[in-house]
Structure 1
Amino acid sequence: MQPNIQALNPQHWKDYELIDCGDFEKLERFGDLILIRPEPQAVWSKILPESEWQYLHHIRFKGKSATSGEWMKKNAKVPDRWHVTYKNDDVQIKFRLGLTSFKHVGIFPEQSVNWDFITDCIKKFKTPSPKVLNLFAYTGGASLASRAAGADTTHVDSIKQVVTWANENQELSGLQDIRWVVEDALKFVQRELKRGKTYNGIILDPPAYGHGPKGEKWKLEDLIKEMMRDVVQLLDQQEHFLILNTYSLGFSSIIVENLIRGAYPQVQNLNIGELYLNARSGVNLPLGVFGRFSLFNC
């Protein structure tokens, strides 16, 4: 059966807006603050004039290298940290944002389409307190959405600082009892297999490159096949969903489809495609590919 191929654009954001993008940059609003950040996918020209970018923005990231830089504020009163809220038809969650030295602010807005999918699936499950596992979980958007929807949620990331950040977001959102695990994701999955654990929902959001807390090396193309082979064995066979996101510029939706079908040949209701943001200026910004499935259409 052919998969459902989609391009997904967030619909519920009020505290986020992509205003324009081009010339390897993006102009975006998080709450009341407007930022200019690097964007390697924006290889076209900006739609809005540079003068409007300069007028609108409060903060601009200036790169010093490929992986780090500094934020340039137009006004010294602009805060280094602030809060935003995401709300769909089922849950409301909050995030603490901050200006990091590697251009991120603590959230990937395009992922909210997956938060909607997660909450829809959990709402349809008959299992009370379904178990959800979020791997490579960063500051916890998917973990918060899962917990707010009523799931028994486990959050796994190899970096202690971002797990602490995710815990702050849990408190901001008025939630509790997410299980926090600082560990290499692949090692955690293999340990859970030995324990005979199962999960109703699994989210994988792996980086192209990364390191575990004990120096374990992660390279997407080298380890994703092993990860998928192991992780599908954790799925509850009665009620489940799985989401795989990839950001590597070399990965297409067909690669994601092949990975999922290779690891889980019995897959049903498979959706693959691109995540993107539609800018106020009219241009669309692609931000990775996804594959996701469930035993029923969420």
Structure 2
Amino acid sequence: MTDIKLIMPEPWADYELIDSGNFQKLERFGEFVLSRPEPQAIWDKSLSDADWERQAHATFRRDRQSPERGDWQTSPTMRDPWYVSFKQGGLQLRFKLALTTFKHVGIFPEQANNWQYIHDRVTAISADVPRPKVLNLFAYTGGASLAARQAGADVTHVDAVKPVISWARENMDYSELDNIRWVVEDAVKFVRREVRRGNRYNGIILDPPAYGRGPDGEKWVLEEHLNDLLKSCADLLDRTDFFFIINLYSLGFSSLILDNLMGQIFGTVPNPEWGELCMTDSHQKRLPLGVFYRFAS
């Protein structure tokens, strides 16, 4: 049995978690500082409210009628959209960011360690497989897809939301990459069809939400559908040269649940790592931002 790990990205120039607390986080993305809700930051802020107000170029305010949506209060100097770069190890990526009504901006910085992991695994597999096949499910704006593609993978990027696919395609262009396969479809339907076709992938990446809807109204509920989806993914994963990553952001979803699922479905796997994704703010408070499980041949 492996020990639970805390995965924290290495510092990168265009991102900084400045402070967290009172159910909020203060972050710098490139030249702009944003204040956003963060339900797990239950401790006190280290900086004063006046400091937060002075630094923030944009502050997200929730709509009282909606637990998810809201709007942004912005300073006159705030640009929307804007762009950031990620340069680390062998990766050089560029992303478009934008202020959305769901508080998201287009990247999850805590995933930076996984981007490097994906790049390294694809590079290693390429020694035996000239063009490794990678499947990215619930792929959002494509950070993981770009990391795999830059390492030379044949990438299939699946998301149910067409505008998000368009955003990911822009990020591909900004990162000077090409030839990612874009699929606008419900992830469960796509995976089941790939199993029937007998297809295999060297790498599979999953970032499923707690709840969601497919393009034809398909309902996704994490607790109800994850087990079956993982079983189908096990059928798709190459038996010789492979890696697998899953991230979950649902509050209260323990990494122990993932460990149990993976043990039952995949059995004994090589080089397993599992635990929590987190970021450390500039005052040394560690902010949990999801759980993960990954392994590789």
TM, length-normalised to structure 2: 0.97
Equivalent residue number for residue 135 of structure 1: 137
Equivalent residue number for residue 88 of structure 1: 88
**SS of the residue 2:215 aligns to:** coil
Equivalent residue number for residue 170 of structure 2: 168
1:38-91 Cα offsets, whole Å, 9 max, x none, are 11111111111112111111111111131111110122x421100001112112
CA distance in 1, matches of 2:2, 2:188: 27
CA distance in 1, matches of 2:96, 2:3: 35
Amino acid at match of 1:48: L
Task: List alignment gaps of at least 5 residues for structure 2.
Answer: none
Q: Sequence identity of aligned pairs in percent?
A: 53
Task: Give the count of matched residue pairs.
Answer: 293
Equivalent residue number for residue 31 of structure 1: 30
Q: Is the 8 A contact 1:132 1:201 kept in 2?
A: yes
CA distance in 2, matches of 1:212, 1:51: 42
Task: List alignment gaps of at least 5 residues for structure 1.
Answer: none
Q: Is the 8 A contact 1:4 1:270 kept in 2?
A: no
CA distance in 2, matches of 1:3, 1:225: 21
TM-aligned CA deviation for residue 5 of structure 1: 2.1
Equivalent residue number for residue 70 of structure 1: 71
Amino acid at match of 1:81: P
CA distance in 1, matches of 2:238, 2:40: 37
Counterparts in 2 of 1:255-274, with a 5 A limit?
A: 255-274=257-276
CA distance in 2, matches of 1:94, 1:157: 20
Equivalent residue number for residue 114 of structure 1: 114
Amino acid at match of 1:100: T
Counterparts in 2 of 1:209-288, with a 5 A limit?
A: 209-288=211-290
Equivalent residue number for residue 22 of structure 1: 21
Deviates further, 277-286 or 176-185: 277-286
Q: Is the 8 A contact 1:12 1:87 kept in 2?
A: no
Cα separation, partners in 2 of 1:279 and 1:67, compared to 1, 3 Å: same
CA distance in 2, matches of 1:4, 1:271: 8
CA distance in 2, matches of 1:281, 1:190: 46
Equivalent residue number for residue 189 of structure 2: 187
Deviates further, 163-172 or 12-21: 12-21
Q: Is the 8 A contact 1:12 1:88 kept in 2?
A: no
TM-aligned CA deviation for residue 117 of structure 1: 0.7
Amino acid at match of 1:157: D
TM-aligned CA deviation for residue 12 of structure 1: 4.5
CA distance in 2, matches of 1:143, 1:88: 16
Q: Is the 8 A contact 1:34 1:56 kept in 2?
A: yes
Cα separation, partners in 2 of 1:196 and 1:12, compared to 1, 3 Å: farther
TM, length-normalised to structure 1: 0.97
CA distance in 2, matches of 1:214, 1:119: 33
Deviates further, 150-159 or 60-69: 60-69
Write out the 4+ residue segments of structure 1 that deviate beyond 3 Å after TM superposition.
Answer: none
